[in-house]
Homo-oligomer: A and B are copies of this chain.
């Protein structure tokens, strides 16, 4: 029987002031925080009285590490009152919160989820371009192109091709494969694409190109989290950072 509670907290897209007020309050009360490696240090530092543990896993791989995180959450909730699992973006989108929640439920430990601003919305804010627009885009799909065991390899591309606006998370390292799969689904080579790396952070980069040129993104050496955004809403009006122009010309 445990008196502790685990809070899954969305850290937002990067900039520390894009955290919610509720998330900041929970962090201030935390006794221990398990945070993703990519969460901004100033956000983690809000948990001033907490033990802070970086759980290095990135992009959801390494199931052994995942089982270890599950166990640590349970152990912590049996010892202290407020345990925080701090995740980049929003906990309910492209994280593995469900596995952690299931482990807590099995151990009869209370939990609560505090939502966050997801990267696609923050990138859209920076671009000044709505994901949906009257008469132009009334659906937006968020997806990741990873293929799991037993899944059809191009199912994600079929989904992408049927939506008006597409945001691909965790895909910049596979830009060539993504472009090929989308072209094979009949998406036009001239489809406008915007790639945004490190949205909301000082070293944010954005690049406007076409689906045809998307494979060039691999050559840019993006190391931060990046989104690939596609659709007619990106056809005009994207203001590039000055330092992106040479890269765009190369593409």
Given contacts A15-B22, A113-B125, A158-B162, contact A94 B132 (CB under 8 A): yes
Copies in the complex: 2
Contact call B135/A149, Cβ cutoff below 8 A: yes
- What residues of B have a CB within 8 angstroms of the CB of A121 in the complex? 10, 90, 92-93, 115-116, 118
A244 at the interface (CB under 8 A from B): no
Contact call B144/A141, Cβ cutoff below 8 A: no
Contact call A17/B17, Cβ cutoff below 8 A: no
Interface residues of A in 89-125 (CB under 8 A from B): 90-99, 101, 111, 113-118, 121-122, 124-125
Docked Cα-Cα span, A60 to B13, in Å, equals: 27
- What residues of B have a CB within 8 angstroms of the CB of A48 in the complex? none
Q: Beta-carbon contacts of A117-155 to B below 8 Å, as 1s and 0s?
A: 110011011101111111100111111101011110000
A58 → chain B, closest Cβ, in Å? 15
Given contacts A24-B21, A129-B98, A162-B159, contact A115 B111 (CB under 8 A): no
**Which residue of chain B is the closest to A144 with respect to CB atoms?**
B138
A30 at the interface (CB under 8 A from B): no
Docked Cα-Cα span, A101 to B94, in Å, equals: 30
- What residues of B have a CB within 8 angstroms of the CB of A131 in the complex? 92-93, 142
**Which A residues are closer than 8 A to B by beta carbons?**
8, 10, 12-13, 15-22, 24-25, 60, 90-99, 101, 111, 113-118, 121-122, 124-126, 128-135, 138-144, 146, 148-151, 156, 158-160, 162-164
